[in-house]
Amino acid sequence: MAEDSKSRTGSAGRFGARYGRVARKRISEIEANMNENHTCPDCGSNSVDRKGTGIWACGRCDYKFAGGTYRPETPAGATVKRSIRAALADEE
């Protein structure tokens, strides 16, 4: 019985019955997303790993950069990058 419930909860199975279903599900989704393969902005390989809170490094080219806590690029950062690119295009 314990093995079946752990396979459904993913990484949040370590919390057992504590903290509620929704909180455990959110943690499981965040951690699964954090552990996915991420693309390096410098060399383009899928070998970016989280080194610390907001610190990401490529395992292939050793490029280190700051990003979000759980994702290398945050949605707000992507929006800012798009608006900067659009502003630079308007100047030309």
Q: Does the annotation place 43 within a ligand binding site? A: yes
Tell me whether residue 36 is annotated as binding: no
Phi, psi dihedrals of residue 75, rounded to the nearest 5°? -60, -40
Whether 44 has a binding-site annotation, put simply, is: no
C-alpha 25/C-alpha 18 separation (Å) is 12
Q: How many CA atoms lie within 13 A of 49 on its CB side?
A: 6
Residue 40 annotated as lining a ligand binding site: yes
d(CA 32, CA 3): 19
Crossing angle of helices 21-34 and 2-9, rounded to 10°? 60
Binding site for Zn(2+), residues?
40, 43, 58, 61
Binding site, residues?
40, 43, 58, 61
